[in-house]
Structure 1
Amino acid sequence: MEILRLAAEAEATGRDIIHMEIGQPGTPAPAVAREAVTRAMGQGNLGYTEALGLPALRARIAQLYDEWYGVDLDPNRILVTPGSSGGFLLAFTSLFDPGDRVGIANPGYPAYRQILKAQGLVPELITTRMDDGYQPRPDQIDGAGLDGVLIASPANPTGTMLTPDGLRALIEVSEANGTAFISDEIYHGLNYAGRCTSALEITDKSFVINSFSKYFSMTGWRVGWIVLPPDHVARVTKLAQHMFICAPHASQIAALAALDATEELEANRATYARNRQVMIDLLPKAGITRFAPPDGGFYIYADISHLGEDSLTLARALLEEEGVAVTPGHDFDPDRGGGMWRLSYAASTEAITEGLTRIAAFTARRS
């Protein structure tokens, strides 16, 4: 947030800022989604939906699982949520009691820690390694006494994915240890090095959380979904009724239309794929060589410890000297984040290329 504030102040003075700190697509919601909401607004019949969400939307999400993963999914196991954040709240509330311990990868999405703590739960940081793609290993879960584990693939901030065998091994060791398994699949669809594997291809016992924010370019619409184990559907439906009543009706209408915007969405993904390759090619030329190549999403999590200063100090200097905004690693990893940057490549290819040229000039002055 510090970098966002400074970048906004710099832009207000007329400076040209390259945004590589923003964790959202640089594209709007699909045109058909916006058109569908315009029609619905004209009809004036928006209101509460059932807590599970619009039946047509849940049926279409179930169809997506067949299209992407070959999974035959009962739409009655799908609950539409106000963003993935609503899914995490519902999953944690249904699965855990205060004081329970939930394992999450370190580095990882910082909201996991804060939502867990707000619910009286204990986030157990699983220290991961670059050699493992910053993903947990089964031996870090086996015998750890965890009540739950949350896995993201592709992950934020690293963009790395688990292989099908890697995901299966984590699920199997979790089930053997009586550890509830939650799969964050919010970046599915944004994959470049092989397809994403859903936990639903392996088990019906996990909670699977997804969102329209990333692949579908609908961050501000606040709509996502959770796929529930059959024995949790009734309980989570009641929780959703009390917590949210329902996800926003207008956003559900937009989401239903977005699911058929394949041509536009795949064009967006092609841009991210080009940007990813630009990052992989040009970062080493800027002297930044230590990172796990991202398999999905639109981030690279890069080691900049060789530059000799804290990542926030360096991010401020980069913004001031070169007009490039990046995210320091502190929020993603409280222990090692002082030596890391997260760089987003969700902007245009031209902007990403120019940003890396400026980063190279910045690092050259510090070598």
Structure 2
Amino acid sequence: MQIVAEAGKLTKAGKDIVLMCVGQPGAPAPSPAREAATKAIAVGKIGYTDAAGIGPLRQRIALYYQERYGVSVNPDCIFVTTGSSAGFSLSFLSAFDPGDRVVIPSPGYPAYRNILKSLSLVPVEIETTADSDWVISPEMLIEEHQKMPVDGVLIANPNNPNGTMMTPEDFERLVKVCKEHSITLISDEIYHGLTYDKREVTALEFDDDLFVINSFSKYFCMTGWRIGWMIVPENMVETIERLQQNNFICAPEISQIAALAAFDGLDEMEEVKQGYLSNRKYVLEELKAIGISEIQPIDGAFYAYFNVSGLLNTTGCNDSMQLANRILHEAGVALTPGIDFDSKRGGDWMRLSFACEESQLIEGFSRLKNWLKEIA
């Protein structure tokens, strides 16, 4: 995340930088969440909660799954976490032993491999391609398992950095493959709610002997509140509870109170989503206008992941990292190099976040176009 850090330094130094590099919503948390937190602060009694989280929030999350997916979830299997990051750590710690092999997608969220490595686990990156619609297919998982047995697989649906999604049918087949081969499945669903062309499904529609990770950060625009949740197999409840107690104690109570109220702001969040939909259309048009022809399918989330091989030739840059640095310092626009998400092929790719206001996108593309004219 070198570009993000450098953009931060330039901003602090007074430089005007258009930030299209960070996966952070530009909209605030839903008003009911902010109001509930304000009232709780006024009362002043904010402390520890049960390790699993406050009961009303866990029950409301269970109701959410019934309402949204038609799936019954036992609230006892729901743990409120300090963002999705804690959920990943807890699932890895509980499900695997040192040396276990865990499949992750490439391109994919870099924290997956970093957390796995920090826990002495082995990330096994499967390269997705256009032929697989940029997702890990059941066949690809089987092929990897036959080469050398794997112990787990982490699927992000929609995926970061590209927003690609599995079809419900392929997702169901992948869940069955995991069941048949005793592969632990961890389903990253933090971008649920932010899908456009394909129907989103939770892994729990197909089985409950798996881990689901979700968050209030993306759809609910609550990144800084550090609040998420995980749904775990019934036989893992006691283990997760102990790990939560010893690693995190509990998620912040003030954030839990706000998260509970956030469910009363779903209409606000749908309005925000409509803004993303408009931004998505604009970004696709503008990328094509500057000569970008290969863009991975944006089925969900709020990212565009696109091939910059042509721009590398035009600018004389060696890879997307060098290109991103030049764009940052010469055009004042921050984009994320694909190397962050794919160490082998990412040099030809770049990610743009359209979670910001439309005015920022307009300014950002104006600067990009002017810069390209200047160096032509």
Give the aligned partner of residue 17 of structure 2: 17
Q: What letter is aligned with 1:219?
A: T
Q: What letter is aligned with 1:348?
A: E
Contact 1:280 1:293 in 2 (8 A): no
Aligned to 1:208, the other structure's residue is in SS state: strand
Matches within 5 A, 1:198-347: 198-308=202-312, 309=317, 310-347=319-356
How far apart in 2 are the matches of 1:195 and 1:363? 38
Q: What letter is aligned with 2:152?
A: G
Contact 1:213 1:222 in 2 (8 A): yes
User: Larger deviation: 36-45 or 112-121?
Assistant: 36-45
1:105 Cα deviation (Å)?
A: 0.2
Contact 1:185 1:209 in 2 (8 A): yes
Matches within 5 A, 1:29-40: 29-40=29-40
Aligned to 1:140, the other structure's residue is in SS state: helix
Q: What letter is aligned with 1:112?
A: Y
Matches within 5 A, 1:1-367: 1-12=1-12, 14-143=14-143, 144=145, 145-308=149-312, 309=317, 310-363=319-372
Aligned to 2:58, the other structure's residue is in SS state: helix
How far apart in 2 are the matches of 1:131 and 1:287? 23
How far apart in 1 are the matches of 2:8 and 2:142? 46
1:364 Cα deviation (Å)?
A: 5.1
Question: Structure 1 length normalisation: TM-score?
Answer: 0.96
Q: What letter is aligned with 2:324?
A: A
1:234 Cα deviation (Å)?
A: 1.6
Q: 1:10 to 1:238 in 2, by over 3 A?
A: closer
CA RMSD of aligned residues (A): 1.5
Contact 1:28 1:217 in 2 (8 A): yes
Question: Structure 2 length normalisation: TM-score?
Answer: 0.94
1:14 Cα deviation (Å)?
A: 4.5
Contact 2:80 2:228 in 1 (8 A): yes
Contact 1:213 1:219 in 2 (8 A): yes
How far apart in 1 are the matches of 2:2 and 2:110? 15
1:302 Cα deviation (Å)?
A: 0.7
Give the share of equivalent positions with the same residue, in percent: 49
Q: What letter is aligned with 2:277?
A: A
How far apart in 2 are the matches of 1:350 and 1:231? 49
How far apart in 2 are the matches of 1:93 and 1:8? 33
Contact 1:18 1:323 in 2 (8 A): yes
Contact 1:187 1:214 in 2 (8 A): yes
User: Larger deviation: 214-223 or 354-363?
Assistant: 354-363
1:166 Cα deviation (Å)?
A: 1.5
Note the residue ranges of structure 1 that are not aligned, 5 or more in a row: none
How far apart in 1 are the matches of 2:121 and 2:349? 27
Deviations 1:34-57 (A, max 9, x none): 111111111121111111110000
Note the residue ranges of structure 2 that are not aligned, 5 or more in a row: none
Give the length in aligned residue pairs: 367
How far apart in 1 are the matches of 2:187 and 2:48? 28
How far apart in 1 are the matches of 2:104 and 2:293? 26
